[in-house]
Amino acid sequence: MNPKQRKLNTHTKTQKLEGKSSLPSVKSSITFSFEFCSSNVGLKAVKANHLEALLQDLSSLSKKQWVEVLNQPKETPLGYEQIPFQKSRFSKPLPQGYPEDVSKVDVFRICKQKARLIGKKSSVEPALFYVFWVDFDFSVYNHG
C-alpha cells in the first residue's frame, strides 16, 4: 500500500468513527439536568411529601429511552407532551441563561398526574433534558 492510500484509509477510518456520533440518540436513556431549574418553582418548592414520588418518577424516566417516552400518550403515568411556549400562557419566564431558542417546552406528567416536570430536551445532547420547573400546583402555565 502506497503512502497516499494509507493516508486515505486512515482518514476514512477516522471519518467513520467521527460519523458515529458520540452523542446519545433517541434510543439513549434520559439524563436530567437541573442547571436551569427555577428556584421559586423548582426543587425548593417541592414539599417533603412529594419528594419520594418525584424521585421515583425521575428514576423511572431515567431508565427509559427517549423513543419510549416520545410515543407515550400524555394521559398515561409519566405521560409526555410538547406544548408551545407562549409568554401569554406562562406565568413564569424562561430561566435566565438558557442557551437555546424555545418555541416549545416538553412536559412530563409526574407523581400520578399530580404534577408536571417542564423543561426542554437539548438539541445538542439528545439524551439530556433540562428541567425548568417542577410544578405541583399547576401554576406555571395555563392548562386551559
Strand 128-135's sheet: what is its strand order?
31-33, 128-135, 115-121, 104-110, 80-84
Assigned domain for 11 exists: no
Look at the block and give the residue holding cell 406565568: 91
Ranking 47-56, 108-117, 128-137 by mean pLDDT, the lowest is 47-56
Name which residue leads in pLDDT, 132 or 51.
Answer: 132
Domain count, the chain: 1
Q: Model confidence over 11-25: pLDDT tens digits?
A: 333 333 333 333 345
Domain presence at residue 88: yes
What is the band of 110 on the pLDDT scale with cuts at 50, 70, 90? very high
Whether residue 144 is contained in a domain is answered as: no
pTM (2 d.p.): 0.76
> What domain range is 124 assigned to?
25-135
Mean pLDDT, the chain, rounded, equals: 79
